[in-house]
Chains A and B, each alone.
Chain A
Amino acid sequence: MIDLREEARRVPVAVAGSSDLFAAARDTWFGRMVNEHSSAAVFAGLAEQLRPFDAAAADTCAGFAEEERHHGVLCGAVLEAIGGEATFPAPATTALPVHADVPAREAALRNVLAICCLAETVAVALIGAERLEMADGPIRRVLSDILADEVGHARFGWRWLAAEAPRLDAATRARLGRYLEVAFGHLETHEHANLRLGGPLPAGAADLGLCDAGAQRALFRDTVETVIVPRLEAHGLPARAAWASRRNPG
């Protein structure tokens, strides 16, 4: 078991009163705590994959790993504040794919694309929208802290891509396009699994971090189609075709 209670209780998050919505909010913040904590291993793995090419970038990603772990604590703090307990079964530590079918630098770029240019860019939009819909208060400040870090994580990927793109030949771009088919499908599956549709939301729900999963799914799609795909295309990657041909796992 992972136990974040002690760290979480040191974070000053006080939510007044007791709401009927607290039970539902606990579900959401529990899931966020687990997801954020688990993402620390993703950035730790990316750091090691980038280290042979750029030690500074690797160190930056190692810092991102710490930030993700801290996000888990922040989400745990909200969870504790609304009556939950910041513990959960230890998640599996799945290693990042090494993509042995391509050169190491291209393999690293695949993971940067999937993690930063896709997943973290979507996270910026989703968290940004949720933050806009939330009243000022301790939970909104938690969102602000997390959003600030996610901006850095996403931007890292786009900068890495900008530096790598000019040296990619046509064959590499085509291979990356085929990888994007897999990455887009994988991300869509992940997002839909975590954006669970449910009943109508009563007043005050947004202030506790409960959001309209249908609207968030739509925002995910809009972010991919109006932001990520055009920007990847601008870097010479066949992203539009990849999104159209995305392959969902399973």
Chain B
Amino acid sequence: MRNEVVRLRALRSAMRITFTLGLGGCIQDPGTGFEADDDPRDDGGDLEPDADAPDPFVVGPDAALSDAALADAVAIVGPDARVGDAFVDSGDAAADAETPVDAAAACPKPEEDPEGWERCCETQGIVACCEAVNWDWQRAPACMAWGPPVPPAMEVA
């Protein structure tokens, strides 16, 4: 089970970046239901963005952009934020049944149709691609969802 401190700090990291400074000042809405004080183990961080911080939105030298963003990330999660005893698996993850949304189009096996498999890998994504080669997904959990996918098109009635 995940350590609650980790969960709350991760949520706060995400919350913090959603607050923005507009031309008219901070548009923070106090009614969002998530406040810094919610976590009594809070490290003293502030949900308010630093108005003087370099703005990643402004185009500038790559290094400046990167430094600003890195400083922000470090400020969010803390310089020594490791929770060493946090990672103990619940043991019943498998009880969380796969949901229907996990379904993916099947790819042909590469030994049977190498070109078809490669084409399928390009069009159906990594999950279908790997399952065609009997990828052992149960060998360990895999957490690969980082980069944003292509947004969906609106279904036109």
A residues within 8 Å of B by Cβ?
21, 23-25, 27-28, 31-32, 34-39, 41-43, 45, 56-57, 59-60, 63, 66, 68, 71, 89-92, 94-97, 99, 101-102, 110-111, 114-117, 119-136, 140, 144-156, 158-159, 162-163, 178-179, 182-183, 185-201, 205-206, 209-220, 222-223, 226-228, 230-231, 234, 247-250
Q: How far is the CA of A95 from the CA of B150 in the complex (A)?
A: 8
Q: Are B143 and A35 touching (Cβ within 8 A)? A: no
Complex CA gap A190/B94 in Å reads 19
- Chain B contacts of A151 at CB under 8 A? 13, 17, 56, 69, 72-73, 76
Interchain CB contact under 8 A, A128 and B13: yes
Cross-chain contact A97 with B154 (CB below 8 angstroms): yes
Question: Which residues of B79-129 are within 8 A (CB) of A?
Answer: 81-84, 86-87, 89-91, 93-94, 96, 98-104, 118, 121-123, 125-127, 129
* Complex partner residue of A119 from B66, B101, B149, CB under 8 angstroms: B149
Are A129 and B150 touching (Cβ within 8 A)?
no
Q: B10 contacts which of A68, A178, A196, A219 (Cβ < 8 Å)? A: A219
Task: Supply 7 A–B pairs (Cβ within 8 Å), ascending by A.
Answer: A23-B139, A35-B147, A68-B147, A92-B123, A110-B151, A148-B66, A206-B86
Which of the residues B2, B32, B56, B138 comes within 8 Å of A231, measured between beta carbons? B32
Q: Which of A128, A214, A231 contacts B90 (CB 8 A)?
A: A214
> B5, B10, B130, B147: which contacts A42 (Cβ < 8 A)?
B147
Query: Given the known A-B contacts A101-B156, A149-B66, A212-B141, are A193 and B10 also in contact in the complex, defined by CB atoms under 8 Å?
Result: no
Inter-chain contact total with CB atoms closer than 8 Å? 345
Additional 20 contacts, C-beta under 8 A, given A123-B147, A248-B101: A35-B144, A42-B150, A45-B150, A89-B129, A101-B154, A117-B18, A127-B146, A148-B73, A162-B20, A186-B149, A189-B101, A193-B104, A196-B142, A198-B93, A209-B143, A210-B141, A218-B2, A223-B11, A226-B15, A250-B103
- Does chain A have a CB within 8 A of B153? yes
Chain B interface (Cβ < 8 Å from any Cβ of A): 1-3, 5-7, 9-11, 13-15, 17-20, 22, 27, 29, 31-34, 56-59, 62, 65-66, 68-70, 72-74, 76-77, 81-84, 86-87, 89-91, 93-94, 96, 98-104, 118, 121-123, 125-127, 129-130, 135-156
**A217→B148 contact, CB < 8 A:** no
CB neighbours (8 Å) of B98 from chain A are 192, 197
Nearest first, the 4 A-B pairs at minimum CB distance are A39-B147, A31-B144, A24-B140, A114-B151
| B142 touching A31, Cβ below 8 Å | yes
In Å, the complex CA distance between A41 and B146 comes to 14
Given the interface contacts A131-B77, A155-B20, does A179 sit within 8 Å of B154 by beta carbon? yes
Q: A148-B72, A193-B104 are in contact. Are A132 and B146 (CB under 8 A)?
A: no
A121-B14, A211-B141 known; A147 vs B151 contact (CB < 8 Å): no
Q: How far is the CA of A97 from the CA of B34 in the complex (A)?
A: 33
Using CB atoms, name the residue of chain B closest to A222. B11
A206 touching B87 in the complex, CB below 8 Å, given contacts A28-B142, A186-B151: yes
Q: Is B151 in contact with A111, judged by CB distance below 8 angstroms? A: yes
Complex Cα spacing A111 to B152, Å:
8
The minimal Cβ–Cβ distance linking B129 to chain A, given in whole angstroms, is 7
**A192 to B137 Cα, complex, angstroms:** 13
Q: Which of A24, A120, A156, A216 contacts B139 (CB 8 A)?
A: A24
Task: Report if A63-B10 is in contact (Cβ < 8 Å); known contacts: A151-B72, A212-B141.
Answer: no
